[in-house]
Structure 1
Amino acid sequence: MRALRKARLATTMGTLAVACLLATAGTAVAKDPGGSQFDVEGNNENDGGQTLESRIVYTGSTGGDKAESLEGFAPVGDWTPPACWYEPKWSPDEFADEFRKSWDIPHASGVGEAYQSSQDYYINGHPYKDFNKKQAGKGIWWDAVRDEARAEEGDPGAFACDTKTFWVENGEAPNVENAVTPEILAQLAYARIKVPDTTVTLAPPTATKVNLPTWAWLDPTTFDEVAVTASLDVDGVNIQATTTAKPVALKLEPGTDDAVTYPASGECVINADGSIGEQYAKGKADQTPPCGIKYLRSSGDGTFDLQATITWEVTWTGTGGAGGDLPDGTFENAQTVMVQEIQAVNR
């Protein structure tokens, strides 16, 4: 049954949010476990206040206690992870319990036809009988979940998973688009990767001078690869994927046209030891840095906004030896730079 309009619903477990039929204001709400699922959030053990609708668990560089100092990165291009997907959800007995709680509305108006349709579908043998209880241990009921943040943004993809709750035999793959696979888990993990808000080190350490090269670098001890693992282990369905992001380049944009970058493209590649650029040392002030900037005019009483964009190369591996590449991610960080004129001494 398709919902006439959506409403947020909570069961006594605090885990079921489903498509609904909502009558006029003030009437009871009928929850149809045979319809499409709505209002669902992922289960991240590092997040506070999460719901448990999704059975997927995320571990790794997801923020956790360091959430304030970590940020997500943006995919290159218009790629996005799935906004909704299908997961294994319930054994026959569990689904029967959820079904009964969903329809525990004897005095609601306008739901009789929908209730009868769902009864026929899951209980009366058209096509399922008694929630497939005779098949207990031989399969599991699957249903849809969605990315609630994407739904709140109005992303239509979050509402695209509208297939009824369906049964899948053990060892068989669901024949529906966006059913969870290692690759989909990898894509969902991608959206939860957090990277450090890294500030580029600039030198010489005193204020930057006009027409003198400024060296820029990132230390490998604070600038390293990060990873998130998404896993799903429900009644015989056990799959997982790890998505890894590795920093590969830094692009510098001086914040003014009156500057040159080193190299000319402004793109500094990663070194063999994992660092980017070269650390400044005394005596290198007049040398050309492998990664840096030379400002051609003073910033006056203000500053220039140096934009540092780090590119992260993203790959994944998963259950059964699956794996591949995902779109690169970029993270931008702005920092202010004061540029002063060199003071000449007249004798």
Structure 2
Amino acid sequence: MQGVTHRGLYTIGLAATLLLAPAHSAFAGGPVDKGTETDAGLEGDDLYARATAISYDTSKNGSGPAAGSVTVAGGSWTPPACWLAPKWTAKQFAKETEAGYKQISGDPNQAPHARKATHEFRQMYKDGKYKNYNLDKQDEGMWWGPVENPNAPILERTACNATLPFWAENGETPDIENAITPEILAGLAYEQIKVPGTEVTLAPEGTAKVNLPTWAWLDKGEFAPVSVTASLDAPGLNIQATTTARPIALELLPGTEDAETHPTSGECTVNEDGSIGEPYAKGAADRTPPCGITYFRSSGDGTFKLQAAVTWEITWTGTGGAGGDLPDGTFGNDQAVTVQEIQAINR
């Protein structure tokens, strides 16, 4: 489009956001759980566009009242804030661009530069670089545009909005920055991962005793791997990624410096059967537990806040054999521990 500067293109990009974004908020990348939403009431182009929304299969996710999202362990990695994906059929794009153009150009309260930008945007797709919104190719492709992750900070999730809508044939993944890929889907699935709460069993039963090892463990089966699958089922472009979290360690923080963890690092590894630590057995009071704490002073009239957090190793696999690692995640909770000082212990 001759005569349009880079600044002009940016202005047109903003106009595109004004013209098209509000009508497509329903397809803006928010979680759609398979089995919880249907296509009831959608017809024609609406049904066609509904198929392009990212859906999440959370049937293998963690559950229970204490389940929650993991926190990225170290680093600055975050799930994708925005991406480019199929958003409109040719008919939808034409209809909404024309409607937005009429609304803005016919409003005398709109600033002249806004009316100019919307005019240039319309001309690009109607009589310029593209011809009549590619209506003659309605069944051959779709218009791609920016999609925002509603969970991302506002300034980050709008980073893709400067990219103008573009046409791609069905089945084609454009070679352009931020175009939707299995890896992006894996990052979005990471955001939907839920893992069970972490409440360790402590023994001997009752209150902990000063200088007496307190055993800590989690039974097998409580911390099996969990996974979420994110899918984009667009016409001619069906891609997906499954993100899986596997427990690899339990970290104990006693809640006081006057204590020693077992092992010294405070990190208890996951056993082959999926359990963590070892259940306390009668007569084992003199042994050092493979996972536990020894407190060196009492909690007085209060309690110590024991923090127990499980580290989850997170990997992904996707369409076409793609896959890799994502940052480990952590999730846990606090437990109140009463520690008493005694003069003698009967064993």
In the alignment, which of 139, 142, 164 is matched to residue 140 of structure 1? 142
**Greater share of helix residues, 1 or 2?**
2
Q: CA deviation at 1:32?
A: 4.7
- Partner in structure 2 of residue 58 of structure 1: 56
Q: CA RMSD in A?
A: 3.0
- 1:156-171 matches, within 5 Å, as 156-161=155-160, 162-171=162-171
Unaligned 5+ segments in structure 2 are: 1-8, 38-49
Residues 63-102 of structure 1, C-alpha deviations (whole Å, 9 max, x = no match): 79x5753211111211111111111112211222232343
Q: CA deviation at 1:343?
A: 4.5
Q: Is the 8 A contact 1:307 1:334 kept in 2?
A: yes
Select the structure with the greater relative contact order (CA < 8 A; seq sep ≥ 6). 2
Taking only the aligned residue pairs, the percentage that are identical comes to 52
> What is the distance in 1 between the residues matched to 2:60 and 2:90?
33
- Partner in structure 1 of residue 129 of structure 2: 127
- Partner in structure 1 of residue 313 of structure 2: 313
- Are 2:31 and 1:43 equivalent residues in the alignment? yes
- Are 2:70 and 1:82 equivalent residues in the alignment? no
> What is the distance in 2 between the residues matched to 1:334 and 1:104?
58
- Partner in structure 2 of residue 108 of structure 1: 107
Q: Is the 8 A contact 1:211 1:295 kept in 2?
A: yes
Residues 106-146 of structure 1, C-alpha deviations (whole Å, 9 max, x = no match): 6313343123112211111x211111122222221111111
- 1:335-346 matches, within 5 Å, as 335-344=335-344
> What is the distance in 2 between the residues matched to 1:59 and 1:177?
27
After superposing on structure 2, the runs of 4+ consecutive aligned residues of structure 1 that deviate more than 4 Å are 1-4, 36-39, 46-49, 61-64
Q: What SS is found at the alignment partner of 1:58? A: strand
Q: Is the 8 A contact 1:55 1:87 kept in 2?
A: no
User: 98-107 or 108-117, which moves further after superposition?
Assistant: 98-107
> What is the distance in 2 between the residues matched to 1:43 and 1:88?
17
Q: 1:289 to 1:81 in 2, by over 3 A?
A: same
- Partner in structure 2 of residue 182 of structure 1: 182
Q: 1:38 to 1:177 in 2, by over 3 A?
A: farther
- Partner in structure 2 of residue 25 of structure 1: none
- Partner in structure 2 of residue 231 of structure 1: 231
Q: CA deviation at 1:336?
A: 1.0
- Partner in structure 1 of residue 262 of structure 2: 262
In the alignment, which of 72, 78, 81 is matched to residue 69 of structure 2? 72
Q: Which amino acid aligns with 1:159?
A: T
Q: 1:178 to 1:305 in 2, by over 3 A?
A: same
> What is the distance in 2 between the residues matched to 1:247 and 1:216?
16
Q: CA deviation at 1:180?
A: 0.6
- Partner in structure 1 of residue 290 of structure 2: 290
Q: Is the 8 A contact 1:83 1:147 kept in 2?
A: yes
Q: Is the 8 A contact 1:43 1:58 kept in 2?
A: yes
Q: 1:207 to 1:46 in 2, by over 3 A?
A: farther
- Partner in structure 2 of residue 219 of structure 1: 219
Aligned length: 316
The TM-score, its normalising length taken from structure 1, stands at 0.83
> What is the distance in 2 between the residues matched to 1:194 and 1:219?
19
Residues 232-278 of structure 1, C-alpha deviations (whole Å, 9 max, x = no match): 01111100000000000011111111111111111100100011101
Q: Is the 8 A contact 2:226 2:245 kept in 1?
A: yes
- Partner in structure 2 of residue 28 of structure 1: none
Q: Which amino acid aligns with 1:73?
A: V
Q: Is the 8 A contact 2:98 2:122 kept in 1?
A: no
Q: Is the 8 A contact 2:241 2:319 kept in 1?
A: yes
